[in-house]
Structure 1
Amino acid sequence: MNFSIITSKIFILFILILNLNIFAQKKEFDIAGNWEMTDFWSNKSATVFTNDGYISITINGEKIDGKNFIIRGGPHDSEKGEMKYVINANKSPIQIDVIALKDNIEKGRILGIIIPVNHTKILMLLSFNGKRPKTMNDENFEQTLTLYKRE
């Protein structure tokens, strides 16, 4: 065999391996599914992120159904609302917004960040002051939520 043919084949093989490696690293972040959320004090909540953008959560045995939850208190007491989420995986850390809606009108937004640990565990930090957290650190450690995928 000719040296240039061997070199060409090695070069093509190298490019194929490099492309496969790059493709494998660009897996899309997917939060959809059933999760168990745990806070700093080990309180647990069942949490569901649906493929169509709704979030449902169970807190102290009370389920808040993202598609059809009943508002408690305030001027809209006993009326129907919705809770949705939006993910921006192109940011680092990943950004999440939890959005409260009534009659398709946004009534509030909780800003947060997500740090994936592995395919079944993520860390999430939500802010209720209208400012998105930049990072998880010692100052906000107690507010960090740990989510474990149940499926």
Structure 2
Amino acid sequence: MSKLVFFFIIILCANLYSQNVDFNIVGNWNASDYWSNESKTTFTEDGYISMTINGEKIDGKNFIIHGGPNDGQKGEMKYLINSTTSPMQIDIIALKDNIEKGRILGIIIPVHHTKFLMLLSFDGKRPETMNDENYEKTLTLIKIE
């Protein structure tokens, strides 16, 4: 009986430890999608996100908007993380002149301190979970620095 209690305490402590591990998204990441397309993504300490899309680098602190009524003007991209939810929530926010112009809602699931999964929605509704229906849209990010 005492071995069973000891085993239960070990499992409980390990579970509590895993729930208290902080995930730090700041840094450079290699993102890949279901079809193995890769891009670089950087999350900065001051809340900016930069990424490469179709070979074009988008600098979160200073990028030029292509298309639409703001074509050719300077914009910014920031991110916000809510780590109190499960899965964690991420918002990618497009700004122009410090005014929000759009928001991409998503979720992230840390796998390891150097790997996480991210699912973004472009329809204004945050995904609730990663599942068989949306696995093709899920990105895998692996830390490179």
Partner of 2:131 in structure 1?
137
Residue 26 (structure 1) shift: 1.7
- The count of residues paired between Structure 1 and Structure 2 equals 134
Q: 2:23 touches 2:113 (CA, 8 Å); kept in 1? A: no
Give the percent of matched residue pairs that are identical in Structure 1 and Structure 2: 73
Find the structure with the greater CA-based Rg. Answer: 1
TM-score by length of 2: 0.87
Consecutive unaligned residues of structure 2, counting only runs of 5 or more, are 1-12
What is the distance in 1 between the residues matched to 2:97 and 2:54? Answer: 27
Structure 1 stretches of 4+ moved >2 Å: 21-25
1:52 alignment counterpart: 46
Q: Measure, in 1, the Cα distance between the counterparts of 2:54 and 2:125.
A: 27
Offset at residue 96 of structure 1 (A): 0.1
RMSD over aligned Cα atoms: 1.9
Once residues 109 and 89 of structure 1 are traced to their aligned partners in structure 2, the CA distance between those partners, rounded to angstroms, is 18
**Separation (CA, whole Å) in 1 of partners of 2:102 and 2:125:** 13
Q: Which runs of 5+ in 1 are unaligned?
A: 1-17
What is the TM-score when the length of structure 1 is the normalising length?
Answer: 0.83
Partner Cα distance (2:30, 2:65) in 1: 23
Seen in structure 2, the aligned counterparts of structure 1 residues 24 and 126 have a Cα distance that, compared at 3 Å, is closer
**Residue-by-residue CA offset, 1:114-134 (whole Å, 9 max, x unaligned):** 011111110000000000000
User: Are 2:87 and 1:93 aligned?
Assistant: yes
Match of 2:115 in 1: 121
Tell me the SS of whatever aligns to 1:142. helix
Alignment partner for residue 32 of structure 1, among 5, 21, 26?
A: 26
